[in-house]
Structure 1
Amino acid sequence: MKYVLVSGGVISGIGKGVIASSSGLLLKTLGCKVTSIKIDPYMNVDAGTMAPTEHGEVFVLNDGGEVDLDLGNYERYLNVTLTRDNNITTGKMYKHVIEKERRGDYLGRTVQIVPHLTDAIQDWVERVARTPADDSNEEPDVCVIELGGTLGDIESAPFVEAMRQLRRRAGKDNFLQIHVSLVPVIHGELKTKPTQQAIRDARSAGLSPDLIACRCERSLDKATTDKIAMFCQVEPEQVVSVHDVVSTYHVPILLEQQGFLTQLSQGLKIDKQSIAPSLVTKGERIWRQWKTLTTSQEHVYETVSIALVGKYVSLHDSYLSVIKSLEHAAMACRRKLNIVWVDATNLEQETRESNPEAFHKAWHDVCTAEGILVPGGFGARGTEGMIAAAHWARTKGKPYLGICLGMQVAVIEYARNVCGISGAHSIELDQQTSDPVIIFMPEIDPVNMGGTMRLGSRPTIFQPNTEWSKLRSLYGLDRTTIDERHRHRYEVNPEYIDRLQAAGLHFIGKDDKGERMEIIELKDHPWYVGVQFHPEYLSRVLAPSKPFLGFVASAAGVFEPVVKASQAREAELANGVSEIII
């Protein structure tokens, strides 16, 4: 097993996740089988209880793991399926060691950070690194490990020490470290001192970076590269410039152009001759498709405007997978994506009285957008604004996609304004409601918060006589079952289903027992779809999520050709003519 460690210095949030994902992608172009691990040094056991506005979205895996958003990047770039064990946190490791101590596994010894915690971290990494992650179902060749936070943070110390020891355990030529650092521009001059200090800090902690990825506004000139190489004790070719580009999809190309892949393969002593020819061919095809995708998008000029009506819009990373899914769909539709961020609270009548400027701007953005998307969320804040946006989309024939909470507010809106159930609401939003059309799922723990929702991959069954469905036409009318990832505590109340369906709200998808409503769709509407699951978690660059693809295609006015192209693609895959590789 070979390891690539990606660490960061100077400041956090400089793109370690993109560098880690790009490194894994480039290794896949050689034919290597790649997996990824993210280390987060916070005390939470997982990301499930963290507010989106504090740490970005919670990404959900097939096994129900609630993890850091960077694992979404890994899955999207590498086309792998990871598990909850691929995300390591301080809380998870301490819990693991304490449970071993309680069982008596340490035979009465004094349990310490070194060696017990650091050994546990290394054992965990070695075990997870060997877990198959792609469709080959074989042990990976390389594991890319991203160390979250910034070197020097007190909470990172045990992980830094564990990685230092792992380098010795892995052996010569089996461990390579990439250190991502910031090179700021001050008064027009590229400043290298922060990077020099960051490398000193890394070495003082026992780590020795083999490659230095310099994040900067503009490309490094030769003099700056040579200066960094000299003071950081590396060769100039070991310093790469990661300057601002049009999109993150260009980063792998930017790195490859600077010989980054050569440095990776030489540092890890990867012999391309020893890789199976079929994997080499597949890797070459990956690279051709990736470059074609990124370069073709540069020649797209028509746009599609989507109003994202949410409650966490102050931090866009709260909806990172939604953004990426919209990007994937827009690229498939040959459109440039324009997301209009709308705070749902600003659509409510209270804002009209307290802040009329924000109210009118929000409604202008909703009314002029070509599609309206209401994503998931928790709590009552902004939900009346979401209901108003769903009402506008339904009555004005505007393409609408509701995800999780977005589906629930669409049901509430329909119950109120079409079925005449004026008191319709959700138990989550109004516990005293007389008509709870959305209720708490009976099997969910109402007290403990972490990991207690309906989580992970679950089947959804398309119902009979729904061949008219636009969404089904994208999945394929011959498919009766789909698997998507879930994260929710509330569901549509079964007592209201017949009344809603009689009024024209079709529940075209239900769970495998036929008890839980998973998909709603209106029959005579350009696109009005709500899904209880989170389709954004399974979207891939060359395989956009079907609900997102149909939504964006309808908003762009190209639904019919996109359906035909999607069906042709599915037929190719079924016949083994083509392969989704990204």
Structure 2
Amino acid sequence: MANGKQTKYIIVSGGVISGIGKGIIASSTGLLLKTMGLTVTSIKIDPYLNIDAGTLSPLDHGEVFVLDDGGEVDLDLGNYERYLNTTLSRDNNITTGKIYREVIEKERRGDYLGKTVQVVPHITNAIQDWVERVGSMPTSEHGRIPDVCIVELGGTVGDIESAPFIEAMRQFQFRVGHDNFCLIHVSLVPVVGVVGEQKTKPTQASVRDLRGLGLSPDILACRSQYPLEKGINEKLGMFCQVSPNQVFSVHDCESLYHVPILLQEQGLIDVLTNRLNLGQLNIPAEIADEGKSLWVQWGEFARRRARSLDQTTIAIVGKYTNLADSYISVVKALEHAALNVNRHVKINWVEASDLEEESMHKDPLKYHEAWQHLCAADGILVPGGFGERGVEGKILAAKWAREHSLPYLGICLGLQVAVIEFARNVCGMTGAHSAEFRENCKTPAVVFMPEIDRTTMGGTMRLGSRPTRFQDTEFARTSKIKKLYGDASEVHERHRHRYEVNPEIVEELEANGLCFVGRDAETGERMEIFELANHPYFVAAQYHPEYLTRPLNPSPPFLGLLLAASGQLDAYLAGEDLARNTDIKLKL
């Protein structure tokens, strides 16, 4: 109960096709509610049988997003955290696998007292109980019970795998009551033919299917390339049994940061307030003021995205570059950092294997294009990843950045390949490699962590938020990365790895200038952050700083990369105000 009243639930479903932006619309709706001072949480339902996203290929499903508690979840939860500026838990991601496991474990314990266990009511009840439990959990931000819980139904209405969740929500609307349940249906309005006419039939059919399953949408969010033509709202309202003012045009705009503004301008707050009686909620004055301030800052940030700013180019050297969603948090972290230092970021995607000598013989054109993109960049970023493919290309990218004084940021595997490169080419350890790829290599620069389980895959890595302590050395105290973290003595960041820098070679690495300025706070023996001496910006972290980036509060390692790549790092570290010549003042 929120302030003595039932938590309100907003369900976001999708029709016609998948991948039309349910997550962004759900996140934008949550942001608008936060600007009213409401406390908001969110749930993503993924109708696959996997327990979590941890074992899914990035090329198949996009990146695996990691939460503070170590939950490996869908990338949409990253959008929720970034838009709502909150911290979610693994319980905020429901999968078919989790639900069936819970029900089967209950059956094995005898909780059902000999009853035949079925999809209805046992699976559907488990889904409802889970949603209601999360909807009544205090949020990380203020410790308050949520006023509103936004639930995104993954997949598309009509999918076989989504059927139990649709049925559960049909029942759930009666469990929580009409005034506490609102359904937003996201659908596609395609443009067909040479005349460019917007067609409403797919949306009509999608809503008809939804109504046939017992759910009626309260709001239609219509995705289209252009704003809805005159008369479309009335037509959809008539055939889908909603008022025309409950039909929203979510057309392509300058950036995803403009979607909340687009919805606000069309009156979404008023529609939700009337439908869910939000005006009756008692909101503490200080939280209401925070909401107003958030909206002002968000508007300023979105306007900056639309302005003409100087461009900084960053080369991302990875192995999943064919699908940008594989690195979506990295991309967002770069965007956030760039916009906060008055720059637009251009990303040069470089397939790591194309940098290798073998590629020069197989496909010389790709080889030369890859090196051209790398050499033309203002900075280089090597993100995390698994598997041997492209590792030597990543090592070459780190070598290029080190030798040519080019700003470099390595994340997880990006730290490990930079250590391997430094060990080989500076310390003379010619056989240096990672035990992940060469188990019996002559000089293991990267080794398997002894506490990690080798027998199973899911959830067995070093996962979640862990403390990193800056070392009390002369270099660490004055290091660029420590200053970027506000001279903090300890930082908490999220991890996802099985391998670490071999502690036996650390002394030699540091003697040659690769300084491990941050180590794990628990033992002090696990290398977490390094910074190269006598270099404009050569920094790497074993953790994944991209998971904690926020539009109004960019990740410090990414901020450092963009500052260095745009020639502003020294001025920033000296305390100069980078926003002095603009009409926007954001807190960095």
TM-score normalized by the length of structure 1: 0.96
Matches within 5 A, 1:134-213: 134-187=140-193, 188-213=196-221
Query: 1:529 offset after TM fit, Å?
Result: 0.4
Q: How has the CA–CA distance of structure 1 residues 446 and 541 changed in structure 2, closer, same or farther, with 3 Å as cutoff? A: same
Structure 2 partner of 1:303: 311
Query: 1:129 offset after TM fit, Å?
Result: 1.1
Structure 1 partner of 2:92: 86
Structure 1 partner of 2:461: 453
1:502 to 508, 511, 528: 511
Structure 1 partner of 2:3: none
Give me the whole-angstrom Cα distance separating, in 2, the residues matched to 1:296 and 1:54.
Answer: 33
Matches within 5 A, 1:244-259: 244-259=252-267
Decide which moves more: 278-287 or 333-342: 278-287
AA at the equivalent of 2:494: R
C-alpha contact (below 8 Å) 1:468/1:523 kept by paired residues? no
Q: Deviations over 1:199-235 (max 9, x none)?
A: 0011011111000000000000221221111111111
Matches within 5 A, 1:263-302: 263-271=271-279, 274-302=282-310
C-alpha contact (below 8 Å) 1:220/1:241 kept by paired residues? yes
Q: Deviations over 1:435-456 (max 9, x none)?
A: 1110111110112000000000
AA at the equivalent of 1:10: V
Give me the whole-angstrom Cα distance separating, in 1, the residues matched to 2:576 and 2:56.
Answer: 37
1:309 partner SS:
strand
1:70 to 76, 81, 95: 76
Matches within 5 A, 1:321-360: 321-360=329-368
1:227 partner SS:
helix
Query: 1:297 offset after TM fit, Å?
Result: 2.8
Q: Does 1:490 align with 2:499?
A: yes
2:179 partner SS:
coil
Q: Deviations over 1:226-266 (max 9, x none)?
A: 11111111111010000001110000000011111111111
Query: 1:283 offset after TM fit, Å?
Result: 1.1
Query: 1:135 offset after TM fit, Å?
Result: 2.2
C-alpha contact (below 8 Å) 1:300/1:334 kept by paired residues? no
Give me the whole-angstrom Cα distance separating, in 2, the residues matched to 1:257 and 1:434.
Answer: 63
AA at the equivalent of 1:49: T
Query: 1:273 offset after TM fit, Å?
Result: 6.8
Give me the whole-angstrom Cα distance separating, in 1, the residues matched to 2:489 and 2:288.
Answer: 36
C-alpha contact (below 8 Å) 1:474/1:567 kept by paired residues? no
Query: 1:138 offset after TM fit, Å?
Result: 1.1
Q: How much identity, in percent, do the aligned residues show?
A: 59
Q: Does 1:538 align with 2:544?
A: no
Structure 1 partner of 2:392: 384
Matched residues, number: 572
Give me the whole-angstrom Cα distance separating, in 2, the residues matched to 1:328 and 1:42.
Answer: 31
C-alpha contact (below 8 Å) 1:6/1:177 kept by paired residues? yes
1:274 partner SS:
coil
Matches within 5 A, 1:5-154: 5-154=11-160
2:483 partner SS:
helix
Q: Does 1:316 align with 2:324?
A: yes
Query: 1:566 offset after TM fit, Å?
Result: 9.3
Structure 2 partner of 1:235: 243
AA at the equivalent of 1:339: I
Structure 2 partner of 1:574: none
Q: Does 1:522 align with 2:532?
A: yes
1:57 partner SS:
coil
Give me the whole-angstrom Cα distance separating, in 2, the residues matched to 1:108 and 1:126.
Answer: 26
Query: 1:568 offset after TM fit, Å?
Result: 11
Give me the whole-angstrom Cα distance separating, in 2, the residues matched to 1:566 and 1:4.
Answer: 44
Give me the whole-angstrom Cα distance separating, in 2, the residues matched to 1:476 and 1:14.
Answer: 39
Decide which moves more: 426-435 or 268-277: 268-277
Structure 1 partner of 2:402: 394
AA at the equivalent of 1:85: D
Q: Does 1:473 align with 2:473?
A: no
Structure 2 partner of 1:575: none
C-alpha contact (below 8 Å) 2:342/2:578 kept by paired residues? no
TM-score normalized by the length of structure 2: 0.95
AA at the equivalent of 2:185: H
AA at the equivalent of 2:106: K
1:339 partner SS:
strand
Matches within 5 A, 1:401-440: 401-440=409-448
Q: Does 1:369 align with 2:377?
A: yes
Decide which moves more: 275-284 or 313-322: 275-284
Q: Deviations over 1:519-567 (max 9, x none)?
A: 1111110100010000000111111000000011100111134335699
Give me the whole-angstrom Cα distance separating, in 2, the residues matched to 1:134 and 1:504.
Answer: 40
Give me the whole-angstrom Cα distance separating, in 2, the residues matched to 1:12 and 1:361.
Answer: 33
Structure 1: runs of 5+ lacking an equivalent: 570-577
Give me the whole-angstrom Cα distance separating, in 2, the residues matched to 1:457 and 1:45.
Answer: 21
C-alpha contact (below 8 Å) 1:181/1:195 kept by paired residues? yes
Give me the whole-angstrom Cα distance separating, in 2, the residues matched to 1:451 and 1:566.
Answer: 44
Decide which moves more: 273-282 or 395-404: 273-282
Query: 1:128 offset after TM fit, Å?
Result: 0.8
AA at the equivalent of 1:176: C
Query: 1:292 offset after TM fit, Å?
Result: 1.1
Structure 1 partner of 2:582: none
1:157 partner SS:
helix
